C-alpha cells in the first residue's frame, strides 16, 4: 500500500468514527408529559386574563390551558408526543392543539390529526366552579 492509499483509508476511517459518534450523540432526550395533575387557577387573577378571550391560551405548570372557540375550557400537556418538545399551543384558527416545532396537530380531545400528531396528546380534565378553574388528571 502506498502513502496516498494509506491516507485515503485513514481519512475514511476517521470520518466514519467522527460521524458515528456524532449521530449517536445528537439525539434528543424526550420529555414525558406530567401524569398527576391537580391544580386550580383563579380566572379573576390578571395572570389568566387571556382566558377571557375565546381561542386563547396560557401555560401553567407544563400544562396549556385554553379557552376554545366555543368558550369551553380545555387543558393539554405542553409536551408534544412527536419529539418530546415543549411547544404545544392552542390554534384558534384550527380549533385544535398544535406543536410549533414540527406542525403536529391534535384535536381538542388529543387525537392526532396528521402524521406528526399520530401518537396523540395527553389531555387533562377541567372543572369550573364560580371563577375557579380546576385542571386535573
How far is residue 59's CA from residue 88's CA, in Å, rounded to a whole number? 10
Hey, what's the cell of 58? 396560557
Predicted pLDDT at 2: 60
Per domain, the residue ranges of the chain are 38-136
In degrees rounded to 5, what are phi and psi of residue 133?
Answer: -110, 115
Predicted pLDDT at 25: 35
In degrees rounded to 5, what are phi and psi of residue 11?
Answer: -60, -45
Asked if the model's pLDDT at residue 23 lies above 50, the reply is no
Q: Is the dihedral of CA 74, 77, 81, 87 positive or negative?
A: positive
What mean pLDDT comes out for the span 35-63?
A: 96
Q: Which of 1.10.3720.10, 2.102.10.10, 3.30.300.30, 3.40.190.10 is the CATH number of 38-136?
A: 2.102.10.10
Predicted pLDDT at 14: 45
In degrees rounded to 5, what are phi and psi of residue 125?
Answer: -80, 155
Cα angle 110, 111, 116; round to 5: 100
- Read off the pLDDT band of 112 (50, 70, 90): very high
How far is residue 93's CA from residue 82's CA, in Å, rounded to a whole number? 21
Asked if the model's pLDDT at residue 22 lies above 60, the reply is no
Calculate the average pLDDT of the chain.
84
Closest CA relative to residue 77, chosen from 121, 30, 107: 121
Does residue 37 contact residue 136 with C-beta atoms inside 8 Å? Answer: yes
What mean pLDDT comes out for the span 12-27?
A: 40
Hey, what's the cell of 135? 385542571
Hey, what's the cell of 30? 424526550
- Read off the pLDDT band of 15 (50, 70, 90): very low
pLDDT tens for each residue of 54-84: 999 999 999 999 999 999 999 999 999 988 8
Predicted pLDDT at 6: 53
Amino acid at each position: 500500500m502506498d502513502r496516498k492509499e494509506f491516507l485515503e483509508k485513514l481519512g475514511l476511517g476517521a470520518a466514519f468514527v467522527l460521524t458515528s459518534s456524532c449521530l449517536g450523540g445528537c439525539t434528543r432526550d424526550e420529555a414525558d408529559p406530567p401524569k398527576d395533575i391537580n391544580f386550580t387557577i383563579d380566572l379573576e387573577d390578571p395572570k389568566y386574563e387571556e382566558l377571557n378571550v375565546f381561542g386563547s391560551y396560557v401555560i401553567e405548570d407544563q400544562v396549556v390551558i385554553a379557552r376554545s372557540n366555543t368558550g369551553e375550557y380545555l387543558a393539554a400537556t405542553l409536551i408534544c408526543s412527536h419529539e418530546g418538545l415543549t411547544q404545544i399551543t392552542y390554534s384558534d384558527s384550527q380549533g385544535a392543539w398544535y406543536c410549533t416545532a414540527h406542525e403536529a396537530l391534535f384535536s381538542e380531545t388529543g387525537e392526532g390529526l396528521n402524521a406528526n400528531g399520530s401518537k396523540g396528546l395527553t389531555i387533562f380534565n377541567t372543572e369550573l366552579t364560580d371563577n375557579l378553574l380546576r385542571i386535573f388528571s
